[in-house]
Structure 1
Amino acid sequence: MASGFPVGRILRQPTVILARMNAQAQEYYPQLDSLRAVAVLMVIFSHFLAGGPWGDYGVRLFFVLSGFLITSIILSHKENMKVTGASVAVVARNFYIRRSLRLFPIYYLALSIYLLLAIVSKKEMGGVVDDWVWHFSYLTNVLVFLRREWVGPLSPYWSLAVEEQFYIGWFWLVLLVPRSRLPAVIVLVICAALSFRLAAIVNGINHYADVLLPACMDTLAAGALLAVATHACYQNDFAQVRTWLQSNAGRLGWVVLLCWVLLVLSSFGLDKENLVRRLVTNSLSSIVFVYFVYRCYQGFGGAIGRLLSTPQLIAVGRFSYGIYVYHMLVLLVYRQYLSRWIPGIAFSERSPVVQKAVDCLVLTLLTLAIAYWSWVYIEKPCLRIKNRYSEGLGST
């Protein structure tokens, strides 16, 4: 063996990479929280005031964020296992327990409140009494597809069902697929999602098929592809790609702007059953939102950076999950029980615009207050329990 051969450096390589991954996983990116806030504010803007595709944009942004963050976490777990020798069973158990502690408590609390209100008031509320099994099983999206219609105030839970279904299967795909082949597999998943939507159109299946997991996978996988491109374990694999992206940032900005214009035109100008809209909306969303997630991950500068770094927006992003879970429940209770007590109701006949603005303001403030209370007294205590289930994981 040649005396200059770097044996020590090679033996230290896994530990060095692990240290970098753990540092990356534990580093906080506040602008990503602000992006969560933007996503959920688009949703409540659509549901409380304006309608239109803004809520769908917010959901697609959440999908890209979820694909990016969850894939980054699983990659850290996977590489950590090589160094620590943790078993797949331990890592899988802890991963799913931690996900459950993050998502289940307020989701099932909100569902229970819906169910109780429906029983007490004897009102349909989207059939929650008859369909509770679907919602409690995270199958709201499947129910929407089978019914070929939205299911009342619980309709937004279709996206939560998609994300939960994604978490269940994606963990194993990222964990078991060899590191070198994972980028290609993710690209194939994106192509498969496009093929699924095309097959649905060719076979005359209505646009509610687009809420099923396979139809949404290109948006989720686009975020996952970004995770691969930025994760420490791939630091040497995509160096040339990252250099090219950085040197062409200006041109890419114009491409993203064009995609955004096309996305808005397709959303407002085409019917939901239109072939072009059903095929390209997710793809355009993926391009636009992957760009913004990447820029927030790196840190926007200038006026946009200052806006995304405001403490208020970051705080809203931290409890954005609660805002999404509760906002339609707040709308339901407000319309049925509280609106008569809200100042400004007298304007309803003379000025519907003023009344709608008052309703939107009150609904937003109520939702933010309830979500913040939930974050402090329910979600954060559950997150502290997560620390008990860190064995074998490469990030917290």
Structure 2
Amino acid sequence: MLLVIVDHVEGFRFDFGLSSFWGNPAVPMLGQLGVTLFFVLSGFLITYLLLEEKEKLGEIKFGAFYLRRVLRIWPLYYVVVILGLFVFPHLDFFFFPHQTPLVSQSLGMKTALYAFILPNVAKELYPAVPYLSQAWSIGVEEQFYIIWPVLVHFSRSYLRNFVLLAGGVFVVAQLSWALTTPQRHILPINEVTDFIKNFLFFFRIQCMAIGGIFALVLLRNWTGILSVLTSRLVQAAAWTLTLALIVRGQTIPYATHEMYSVLFGVLVLNLAQTDTSVVSLRHKWLDYLGRISYGLYMLHGIAVVVGIRVASLLVADASPAHHLLTFLVAVVVSILLAALSYHYLETPFLTIKKRFARIQSGS
């Protein structure tokens, strides 16, 4: 989550005409990798619970699964959508340079796309809506949730289907890029092909499928593979390579997010097995941040703008203190907003959600 906040602090500062590190290629990549990690973790958790439900109870109740996802995702999602489309555009404090005036254009179609949980489609068809730019990943998540339980329930070979889905989406995404590059001219470059190319680039359900493969390895206790993945050497290599690539702003040729997903999968697998992990995240405050992480993700854009406004009132715009204060206020306000959302908006729905839980998840 912190990676995404850093990315958006720098991006928002650039949009507001303030000094930023947005020109450094490592910064925009931080946000993208933060979302990829989120996808891998989501695929890992959801797959583990679905597999356990099928193996322990003999079947997956689709209605209960979808209802749990609705109760977890929709309440805060729709609050943020309403704020972004209908409230913030009319408040001077939240005015976003160059973007707020565009919100009213095609408002009806935007409203319909966001209402039907298609923010990733809206992202490709229309200019970004301030405070909703992060919602595209929620659309990808929800579309993954439609497909995944069916595959898990009816599949006889989980691994084969995981690989087929992950590999299929990756191949289609790479083909779309290859066939629309100006150097090849194999397909015409127009609005349709450009939409397909960009939509598939962000439609990273293969990253969630990769997370699911690691969940399968853990649940089935494939000791041969686990002994390798949980070894200190492999963990140290995964942590070192991941951190080095992030810091240097480098990408892995030809399979960037898929390769990062594998690295993230190794880390998530070991963090889930506390007795093998070389890094421990078992702390009360980290556990709490994990519980409010959805609110942190959905509401941090509001906090970043609050940080910019507060910093501009207290220090000179061009000073390093302005930059630092923006970030600190953004982090603190993000946590406050997420905590308020969790306790007063999300918790009542989460309480209902527990009634439909067939397999209890861990903390």
TM-score of Structure 1 vs Structure 2, range by shorter chain: 0.7 to 0.9
1:264 & 1:209 partners in 2: Cα distance? 28
3-state SS, counterpart of residue 153 of structure 1 = coil
The whole-number CA distance in structure 2 between the counterparts of 1:133 and 1:166 is: 20
Q: In structure 2, what is the equivalent of residue 159 of structure 1?
A: 137
Aligned partner (choices 237, 243, 248) of residue 227 of structure 2: 243
Residue 337 of structure 2 corresponds to residue 386 of structure 1: no
Instruction: Give the corresponding residue for 1:58.
Output: 34
Residue of structure 1 in register with 2:5 after alignment = 44
CA distance in 2, matches of 1:283, 1:165: 18
Q: CA RMSD in A?
A: 2.9
Task: Give the equivalent residue in structure 2 for 1:326.
Answer: 299
Contiguous gaps of at least 5 residues in structure 2: 11-20, 181-192
Deviation at 1:81, TM superposition (A): 3.5
Give the aligned residue type for 1:188. Answer: L
SS at match of 2:255: helix
Displacement, 1:190? 2.0
Q: Distance in 1 between matches of 2:322 and 2:200?
A: 36
Aligned residue for 1:229, secondary structure, equals helix
The reply on whether 1:146 has 2:114 as its aligned counterpart is: no
* Deviation at residue 254 of structure 1 after TM alignment: 2.4
Change in CA separation of 1:220 and 1:264 when aligned onto 2, cut-off 3 Å = farther
1:77-98 Cα deviation digits (max 9, x unpaired): 222332xxx7x6xx11111111
- The answer on 1:203 being equivalent to 2:171 is no
Equivalent residue number for residue 12 of structure 1: none
Q: Spell out, residue by residue over 1:220-248, the C-alpha distance to the aligned partner (whole angstroms, 9 max, x if none).
A: 111000111111xx24xx233223444x5
- Correspondence list, 1:208-357, <5 A: 209-212=197-200, 215-231=203-219, 234-235=220-221, 238-246=222-230, 248-251=231-234, 253-254=236-237, 257-258=240-241, 261-262=244-245, 268=249, 277=253, 279-299=254-274, 304-305=279-280, 308-332=281-305, 339=309, 342=310, 345-349=313-317, 351-357=318-324
Q: 1:102 matched to which residue of 2?
A: 72
The answer to whether structure 1 residue 376 and structure 2 residue 343 are counterparts is yes
Which residue identity is paired with 2:225? V
Could you list the per-position Cα deviations for residues 241-278 of structure 1 after superposition, in whole angstroms to 9, with x for gaps in the alignment? 223444x541463266346545665xx357xxxxx75x
Aligned-pair distance for 1:300?
Answer: 6.8
Corresponding residue number in structure 2 for 1:395: 360
**Cα distance change of structure 1 residues 215 and 96 upon mapping to structure 2, 3 Å threshold:** closer
Work out the number of aligned pairs and report it: 325
Flag structure 1 segments of 5+ consecutive residues without an equivalent. 1-39, 271-275
Amino acid at match of 2:301: M
Structure 1 residues 352 and 300: alpha-carbon distance in aligned structure 2, compared to 1, 3 A threshold: farther
Match of 1:156, SS? helix
TM-fit CA distance, 1:333: 5.7
Higher relative contact order (CA 8 A, sep 6+): 1
Paired with 2:167 and 2:277, the residues of 1 have a C-alpha distance of 36
Q: How many angstroms does 1:287 deviate by?
A: 1.9
Q: Could you give the per-residue CA deviations for residues 69-115 of structure 1, whole angstroms, max 9, x where no partner exists?
A: 00111112222332xxx7x6xx1111111111111111111111223
Distance across 1 between alignment mates of 2:133 and 2:54: 35
Equivalences for residues 97-136 of structure 1 within 5 A: 97-118=67-88, 120-121=90-91, 125=100, 127=103, 129-130=107-108, 131-136=110-115
TM, length-normalised to structure 1: 0.73
The match for 2:185 is: none
Instruction: Give the counterpart letter for 1:134 in structure 2.
Output: L
8 Å CA contact 2:140–2:205 kept in 1: the answer is: no
Residues 114 and 329 of structure 1 are in contact (CA less than 8 Å); yes or no, is this contact kept in structure 2? no
Is this contact kept in 1: 2:307–2:329, CA < 8 A?
no
Superposed CA offset, 1:368-392 (max 9, x none): 11110111112122111123324xx
Report which of the two has the higher share of helix.
1
Same amino acid, percent of matched pairs: 26
Single out whichever of 120-129 and 284-293 deviates more from structure 2: 120-129
Counterpart Cα distance in 1 of 2:238 and 2:294: 31
Task: Specify the SS of the correspondent of 1:389.
Answer: coil
Pair 249,348 (structure 1): closer, same or farther in 2 beyond 3 Å: same
Q: 1:151 to 1:116 in 2, by over 3 A?
A: closer
Tell me which amino acid in the other structure corresponds to 1:376.
H
Q: Aligned AA for 1:161?
A: G
Structure 1 residues 53-62 or 123-132, which shifts more?
123-132
Larger radius of gyration: 1
Question: In structure 2, what residue type is equivalent to 1:64?
Answer: V
> Does the 8 Å CA contact 2:84/2:131 hold for their aligned counterparts?
no
Give the AA of the match of 1:309: R
Contact 1:260-1:288 at 8 Å conserved across structures: no
Structure 2 CA distance for partners of 1:45 and 1:94, relative to 1, 3 Å? same
**Quick one: which amino acid aligns to residue 282 of structure 1?**
H
Label 1:116 to 1:152 Cα distance change in 2 as closer, same or farther (>3 A): closer
The change in CA–CA distance for 1:210 and 1:304 in structure 2 (over 3 A counts) is farther
Q: What is aligned with 2:15?
A: none
State the Cα deviation string for residues 168-211 of structure 1 (Å, max 9, x = none). Answer: 11111111112xx1111111222112202211112215598355
User: 2:52 maps to which residue?
Assistant: 76
Matched letter for residue 352 of structure 1: S
